[in-house]
Structure 1
C-alpha cells in the first residue's frame, strides 16, 4: 500500500511538473492537421505513432523547461513552489526523464517516415532553445509558439511526407495563438522580469502594449483559421460554428485582463484557452469525419 502511494505521488508530481493538462493546447491542432492530411484514410499505425511522438515530445520539452528555469523559478515567488525549487525532484532524475521522452519521440518519428526522422533534430532543438530565449530576447513567446506549431506541421508530414499551405497556415495559427496567451500569462511577472533582466514582451513594451500585441496575435490567429476553413474541403459549417464560439471566447479572454487588473490572468491565459482548444478539437474532428 505504501509503495502504491509513493508511485501515485511520483506520477502526480511528474504530471504537475510537465503541466500535462495543458497538452490540449497543441494536441487539437495536431489531430485536426492529421485528419485533414489523411482525408479520411488514416491507419492505426499512423495515429498511434503520431500520438506517441507528440506526447513524448511535449512532455520532455516541459520537463526540460523546468530544469533549465529552476534557478529563475526559485527566485520568483510565483514559481518558487514548483517541484525542483522545492526539492521534491532533483535535476538529475528529471534530465533522465527528458532523455527518455526525447528518445521515444525520435523512435516514433522513425516509425512514421524518413522525413519525420530527418527533421526530428530540428524539433529537439526548438524544444531545447525555447527555455533559454527569455534570457536574451523578448521574442521568446513566438519561439514557444513556433515550437508548439511543430505539432500540426509534423502531423501533416507524418501522414503525407510532404508539406503544403494547410499545415503551414495551421502552424502559423498555432504559433500566434500560443504566443498571444503566453504574453497574457507573462504579464503577471512584469515586475520580476524587469528587476531580474528576464526578456519578455511585457517587460520590453510594458503591460498595456503587451496586451495589445496579444490581441493582435489572436486576431491574426483567427484570420489564419478562417483561411484554413475556406481552403480545406473537409471543413465546413461545424468547423466555422466552433470558430465563432472561439472568437467569443477570445473576446472574453481579453476583457478579463487589463494593465491595472491582472487578477484573472490564469483564467484568461490557461482556463479559457483550454476550452478554446476543446471546442476547436471537437468541431474540427467532427467536420473531418462527418
Structure 2
C-alpha cells in the first residue's frame, strides 16, 4: 500500500506543484539567456551558445521550481489542513503521502544540482546551486517571521533571468556588466510580489488567526493592496530602466513596458473592492445585490467600512491569464527587439 502511494501517477505530482505556473518564470529565464547570447554574438570573435547550456537552463528551471513547490507543500501541510481553501490539496487530503512528497522533493533537488554539471567548464552554476536551493526552500518558512515573504517569493523567481544570463555570460565583474539581468530580475521580483499579495488576500483572516506574517494577514485586505500596487509600479520602473544599460533594447521594449503597465492597471482595477459605510448597509443592500453577491464570504469590515470583494475565483483566473500574457508577451517583445 505504501509502495503504491509513493509511486503515484506523474499527474498527481504535477498537480501538487501546480506545474502550469512554471510559465510565469520560464519566459524570463529564456529572455535573460537570450540577452546574454545577443551580447556574445556581438563580441569579436562571436561566442555561439551551446545546445547543452540551453537544455541545462530548461532542466534547472523545472527541477528547481518543482523542488521548491513540493517542499512548500510539505512545510505548509498543517496550515493547509486548517484552511478551508487548501484543505483539498494533495497532502492534507491524503492523495499523496508525506513520504512520497519527500522523495519527490529529494529527486528534484538532485536533478537541479546535477543539471548544473551541464554548464561545465562554467563553475558558477554548480558552486551556487546549493545556496540557491536553500534560498528557495527558505521561502516556505518566511511567512512565519517576516512580512517580506512576498518579496522573498519574488526574489526566488527573480533569480531565474540572472542565473540564465550567468550560464551564457559568466562575467560578474565589473558590476555594471550584470546590470541588465539584475534589473530584469528585480522586475520579476516586484511583479511576483505584487500578485502574491493580491492572491494572499484570500487567506487574510486565516493568516491573521494563524499568526502568519503575510501583508493581508497583518494589515488587512485594504492595507495590503497598496503594497501590491507599489510593487507593480516598481516592476514597470525596472523594465523601463533596462534599455539604459542594455543597448540592444529600444523603442520596442519600451512599448512592451507600457503595455505591461496597462495590463497591471487593469488587474488592480479588477481586484479593487467596493466600499460601503457599515451604517449605510441597509440602504445599499438592494444596489449591492445587483452588482455582487452579498454574503459573508465576500464582505470584509475594516474601520467601520464594509468592503465587498470581487469574486475571488474569477479574479484568480483572470490573474493567471493576465500574468501568462505578461511573461510570454515580454519574452516576445524582447526577442523582436533583439532581432531588429
State the TM-score, normalized to the length of structure 1: 0.92
Q: Which residue of 1 aligns with 2:150?
A: 141
Query: In 1, Cα distance between the equivalents of 2:249 and 2:54?
Result: 20
Residue 192 (structure 1) shift: 0.8
Aligned pair partner of 1:85 in 62, 69, 92: 92
Query: In 2, Cα distance between the equivalents of 1:168 and 1:210?
Result: 26
Residue 286, structure 1, aligned to residue 340, structure 2:
no
Q: Is the partner of 1:234 in helix, strand or coil?
A: coil
Residue 110 (structure 1) shift: 2.3
Q: Which residue of 2 aligns with 1:243?
A: 257
Q: Which has the higher contact order (CA 8 A, sep 6+)?
A: 1
236-245 or 209-218, larger mean C-alpha shift: 236-245
Q: Which residue of 1 aligns with 2:82?
A: 75
Residue 275, structure 1, aligned to residue 325, structure 2:
yes
Q: Which residue of 2 aligns with 1:26?
A: 25
Q: Which residue of 2 aligns with 1:118?
A: 127
Q: Which residue of 1 aligns with 2:182?
A: 168
- Corresponding residue pairs, total: 284
Query: In 1, Cα distance between the equivalents of 2:238 and 2:318?
Result: 21
5+ residue gaps, structure 2: 42-47, 173-177, 274-306
Residue 275 (structure 1) shift: 1.7
Aligned pair partner of 2:138 in 105, 123, 129: 129
User: What does 1:30-45 align with in structure 2 at a 5 Å threshold?
Assistant: 30-39=29-38, 40=41, 41-45=48-52
Q: Deviations over 1:171-215 (max 9, x none)?
A: 111111100100000011111111111210111222112111100
Q: Would the aligned equivalents of 2:67 and 2:108 in 1 still touch at CA under 8 Å?
A: yes
Query: In 1, Cα distance between the equivalents of 2:49 and 2:23?
Result: 21
Structure with a larger share of its residues in helix: 1
Residue 272 (structure 1) shift: 1.6
Residue 283 (structure 1) shift: 1.6
Query: In 2, Cα distance between the equivalents of 1:248 and 1:96?
Result: 43
Q: Is the partner of 2:88 in helix, strand or coil?
A: coil
5+ residue gaps, structure 1: 1-5
Query: In 2, Cα distance between the equivalents of 1:254 and 1:69?
Result: 28
Query: In 1, Cα distance between the equivalents of 2:153 and 2:310?
Result: 22
Q: Is the partner of 2:167 in helix, strand or coil?
A: helix
Residue 203, structure 1, aligned to residue 210, structure 2:
no
Q: Deviations over 1:227-254 (max 9, x none)?
A: 1134322223333333232221101100
* Cα distance change of structure 1 residues 30 and 282 upon mapping to structure 2, 3 Å threshold: same
Query: In 1, Cα distance between the equivalents of 2:337 and 2:18?
Result: 29
Q: Which residue of 1 aligns with 2:15?
A: 16
Query: What RMSD over aligned residues (CA atoms) do the two structures have, in Å?
Result: 1.8
Q: Deviations over 1:7-53 (max 9, x none)?
A: xx822211111111111111121111101111154221111111111
Q: Is the partner of 1:248 in helix, strand or coil?
A: helix
Q: Would the aligned equivalents of 1:35 and 1:42 in 2 still touch at CA under 8 Å?
A: no
Larger radius of gyration: 2
Residue 150, structure 1, aligned to residue 159, structure 2:
yes
Q: Would the aligned equivalents of 1:145 and 1:176 in 2 still touch at CA under 8 Å?
A: yes
Q: Would the aligned equivalents of 2:253 and 2:334 in 1 still touch at CA under 8 Å?
A: yes
